[in-house]
Amino acid sequence: MSKTENAAPKLPPVKVFRLMNRVIRPLLASRLHRLISGRVMLLSYTGRKTGRDITVPISYFAWDPGTVLAMSSQLSWIPNLRTGPTVRLRIRGREHDAVPTVFEEHIAIAELLAEFARRNGPRAAKALMLGLPGDRQPAPEELRAASQRTRLVVFRLAQ
């Protein structure tokens, strides 16, 4: 396998994400949310340093009953969730309080990525843009390499 086949795709610059967020955030908060709310939710939290309320759109996946999984290579919002504060999620037009659990240890991330690929299939794992194969279940070394490129958060929804 060549290096280019196993390399993670390049992500757009942060400026592109910020520009897209200016469109996505109001769309998810509107009645037109159905256009993208099947895979993108709004995460609202209080900044740990600034104390400001922050709302960002992030991709998510249904996980276990009452939980959703999110991941990011952009680490800007992850540090704010490390202490497990209650956050607010807007999923499919509904508001939920949730408690996040941040996974930053690469072994735990690799295990979650393996479970993700088992549950959703190799094509879904490839779509995460972490360099995982789309034609078969990822090998342990591929999962370890992918775990270096992301952080995972499991949000447990309040009842």
- Cα–Cα separations (whole angstroms), residue 51 to 41, 48, 80: 22, 6, 10
Residue 23 backbone dihedrals phi, psi, to 5 degrees: -90, -45
Query: 13 is written with which tokens?
Result: 């610059």
Instruction: Report which listed range, 16-20, 38-42, 89-93, 114-118, is most confident.
Output: 114-118
The span from the CA of 38 to the CA of 33, in Å, is: 9
Per-residue pLDDT tens for 73-105? Answer: 766 788 889 887 899 999 988 999 999 999 989
Closest CA to 62 of 33, 95, 37, 32: 37
